A = this chain, B = another copy of it.
Amino acid sequence: MLRAVLFILLLLLIAPPPRTAAAADTAPSGKTDRSPAPGHGDPYAMVFEGLAVVVIAASVGRWAARRLSQAPVLGELVAGILAGVILYHVGNPAIVILRHAAILSKAETTAMAENVSWEKAVHSALADSAIRGEEAEKISGVALRGNYPAYENLYRSMLLFSSLGVVLLLFMVGLESSLEGMRRVAGNSLGVASLGVIVPFALGFAATILLLPRGTDPNVPVFVGSTLCATSIGITARVFRDTGAIETGEARIVLAAAVLDDILGLIVLAVVTGVVTSGAVELPAVGWITLKAVLFLGLVILFGSFLVKRTIRYFTRIDPSQVKLLYPFALLMILAAAADAVGLASIVGAFAAGLIINDEYFGDIPAPAGGTGSVESIIAPIEGVFAPVFFVLMGMQVDPGSMADPGTLLTALALAVAAVAGKVAASLAVRKGTDRLIVGIGMVPRGEVGLIFAGIGKGIGVLDDRMFSVVVTVVLLTTLVTPPFLAWAIRRKERRERSRAI
């Protein structure tokens, strides 16, 4: 443990400290014109430093998790939480921006759209929020300092790497899965996905009504319920990969159900926001949203492999030495963006890209610069660098202080129980012969999808600051609770199978 502490101290030493701020003052867009000291002033030097810190923190987190027999991803999350708490405490501007991104982005929108000064916009965004006192001063201090653009650049860059990391992760998961395997579990998955939307909604709705005082806006339980419908597949996919269980039937069911859940979630969100904002379900809009998403996935599944086979041939002629690296990478980027364009999560597109690519399509093209030559082994290093950024940053965004209020924490705990129970119950839709517990726990994390729901709820005024904190805490709990339990459930199943084999 002493070494872990030493490492955290080392991390703090190399973490971009506020005192480098002066040097970075003019960095944001490569402008060196008012820089007092000569130098190249790479505007991304601070980003390189930040990336190194996150990569090392992730390594240390995985090491600690291994020592404690925990899932590596939990180690990354906890490393992120610890680093975040320490850096926030010392007032690291990048972490302050990361934690209060919603307020600062609101200030930015105001400054641009309403044509007020940045200072006014920051103060008005802070006044609109529930944050007061020292905390508010910390935020405005960071936002109104001259080096704010440099730190905002760092924050955005790290989020970009995180986004890149999670699509790369889901792409790898797609590569390791097969379209055929997905088709086989389609029925089971549809059941899990549907129950996984209905049961958590019902439980969340009921729990909110019971927990909140009478006379609360009836839209609140509706919104809380729908937040609990979401499934975020990042954490689960990572645990399946780390435990080598990605090609089991359970993993396939969870993955397919998560994709279907993304469509169902879209529909729920469209219906709920329609009801809340205009008091009615706008059927044409809901229909169009559903159609786009279904069409995208349908086309990719039906024609994806065929198109990939044909276009690989062209790309091979154009760039023979790099085709095994660049074709999959470009396809991943395009499908991730396309999924986002039709309203699905970019990770759903990334997963689809991995599904429809097959090593055999490349014929006997040698891999660039040695290597075993599989697409997986070529993309692996890129994923290896960026995927941990996603989990460390997820940890860094956690504010343990939000759980300090006992009332909030209690409400959150009750809802978290409903959230877990709802998804575990959904696994009853799975036919016999499958380990239901693995499927159920695999569906538990709400992750960023839940946060997006909560953000919309807050944006349209349904969730107040307290309920927003509650929902964020629920998302957090479901995320943190999954890795150890899922790893345990997978080990349990393996033990059972082994003892049956004897």
Q: Which residues of A contact B (CB under 8 A)?
A: 7, 14, 20, 23, 26, 28-35, 37-49, 51-52, 55-56, 59-60, 62-63, 101-102, 104-106, 108-109, 111-113, 115-120, 146, 148-149, 153, 156-157, 159-160, 163-164, 167, 266, 269-270, 273, 289, 315, 317-319, 322, 325-326, 329-330, 332-334, 336-337, 340-346, 368-372, 374, 376-382, 384-385, 449, 452, 455-456, 458-460
How far is B42's CA from A102's CA once the two chains are assembled, in angstroms? 15
The residues of B that contact A146 with a CB separation of less than 8 Å are 112-113
A166 to chain B, nearest CB (A): 9
Interface of A is mostly: helix
How far is B62's CA from A41's CA once the two chains are assembled, in angstroms? 30
- A385 contacts B329, C-beta separation under 8 Å: yes
How far is B159's CA from A216's CA once the two chains are assembled, in angstroms? 49
- A14 contacts B115, C-beta separation under 8 Å: no
Task: Please tell me which one of the listed residues B160, B376, B449, B455 contacts residue A369 in the complex, with CB atoms under 8 A apart.
Answer: B376
Complex A-B, nearest 5 residue pairs according to Cβ-Cβ distance, in ascending order: A33-B459, A29-B105, A45-B340, A39-B343, A370-B372
Look across to chain B and name the residue whose beta carbon is closest to the beta carbon of A318.
Answer: B63
- A105 contacts B31, C-beta separation under 8 Å: yes
A113 to chain B, nearest CB (A): 6
Look across to chain B and name the residue whose beta carbon is closest to the beta carbon of A4.
Answer: B318
The residues of B that contact A23 with a CB separation of less than 8 Å are 341
A230 to chain B, nearest CB (A): 10
Beyond the given A32-B459, A38-B456, could you list 17 further A-B residue pairs with CB under 8 A, ordered by the A residue number? A31-B106, A32-B455, A33-B459, A40-B345, A41-B340, A44-B160, A48-B337, A48-B346, A52-B330, A55-B333, A56-B326, A59-B318, A63-B319, A115-B119, A325-B384, A370-B372, A378-B381
The residues of B that contact A38 with a CB separation of less than 8 Å are 266, 269-270, 273, 289, 343, 456
- B384 contacts A52, C-beta separation under 8 Å: no
Look across to chain B and name the residue whose beta carbon is closest to the beta carbon of A148.
Answer: B112
How far is B39's CA from A307's CA once the two chains are assembled, in angstroms? 27
The residues of B that contact A345 with a CB separation of less than 8 Å are 40, 42
Task: Please tell me which one of the listed residues B42, B118, B315 contacts residue A115 in the complex, with CB atoms under 8 A apart.
Answer: B118
- A108 contacts B28, C-beta separation under 8 Å: yes
- B111 contacts A118, C-beta separation under 8 Å: yes
Among A318, A343, A458, find the residue whose CB has the most chain B CB atoms closer than 10 A: A318
How far is B10's CA from A315's CA once the two chains are assembled, in angstroms? 13
Among A39, A60, A62, find the residue whose CB has the most chain B CB atoms closer than 10 A: A39
- A159 contacts B117, C-beta separation under 8 Å: no
- A43 contacts B337, C-beta separation under 8 Å: no
How far is B270's CA from A109's CA once the two chains are assembled, in angstroms? 40
The residues of B that contact A385 with a CB separation of less than 8 Å are 325-326, 329, 382
- B460 contacts A33, C-beta separation under 8 Å: yes
- B371 contacts A42, C-beta separation under 8 Å: no
The residues of B that contact A337 with a CB separation of less than 8 Å are 45-46, 48-49, 52
How far is B58's CA from A330's CA once the two chains are assembled, in angstroms? 12
- A344 contacts B39, C-beta separation under 8 Å: yes
- A381 contacts B384, C-beta separation under 8 Å: no
The residues of B that contact A117 with a CB separation of less than 8 Å are 111, 115-117
- A118 contacts B109, C-beta separation under 8 Å: no
The residues of B that contact A156 with a CB separation of less than 8 Å are 29, 153, 156-157
- A34 contacts B105, C-beta separation under 8 Å: no
Look across to chain B and name the residue whose beta carbon is closest to the beta carbon of A274.
Answer: B38
Q: A59-B315, A105-B29 are in contact. Are A52 and B333 (CB under 8 A)?
A: yes
- A333 contacts B371, C-beta separation under 8 Å: no
The residues of B that contact A289 with a CB separation of less than 8 Å are 37-39
Look across to chain B and name the residue whose beta carbon is closest to the beta carbon of A380.
Answer: B369
A194 to chain B, nearest CB (A): 19
- A329 contacts B40, C-beta separation under 8 Å: no
Among A104, A118, A368, find the residue whose CB has the most chain B CB atoms closer than 10 A: A118
- A336 contacts B45, C-beta separation under 8 Å: yes
How far is B123's CA from A115's CA once the two chains are assembled, in angstroms? 13
A219 to chain B, nearest CB (A): 16
The residues of B that contact A269 with a CB separation of less than 8 Å are 38
How far is B368's CA from A377's CA once the two chains are assembled, in angstroms? 8
18 residue pairs of the A-B complex, CB under 8 angstroms, read A26-B109, A31-B106, A32-B456, A33-B102, A33-B459, A37-B289, A37-B343, A38-B269, A39-B344, A40-B340, A40-B345, A43-B159, A49-B337, A52-B337, A56-B330, A63-B319, A156-B157, A371-B377
